[in-house]
Amino acid sequence: MTSIANESGNAGAARIHVAIPYHLRNLAGVDGEVLLEVAPPVTLRNVLNALESRYPMLRGTIRDYATGERRAFLRFFACEEDWSLNSPDEELPESVASGKEPLLIIGAIAGG
């Protein structure tokens, strides 16, 4: 099941699919992907702002409260590319912004 959130109220808003880790889905009380409406420009910062606005219980779990930096054991992927170290203000690929591909937030796995 996909949860839908319309935070922007903006007719030009993009519908973004976001896949979050199991433990964060449990915390937010959602099943499957989250569908958010994000006002342009569609950047990682704007998507995370919309996600945290819709699901306030996720604040501080994906990004640090004080610095806004990504938590160490989470990674962001768009179109099979790691966006974890990209600027949060860089626009996401068109296929993510158009809803064709999901933005993946995954737990990092250590090991060898």
pLDDT tens, residue by residue, 26-64:
999 999 999 999 999 999 999 999 999 999 999 999 999
**Beta-bridge mates of residue 4:** 35
Domains present along the chain, CATH in parentheses: 3-107 (3.10.20.30)
For residue 111, what pLDDT is reported?
Answer: 65
Q: What is the pLDDT of residues 91-105, one digit of tens each?
A: 999 999 999 999 999
pLDDT in tens, 60-85: 999 998 998 999 899 999 999 999 99
Note the pTM of the prediction, 2 decimals. Answer: 0.86
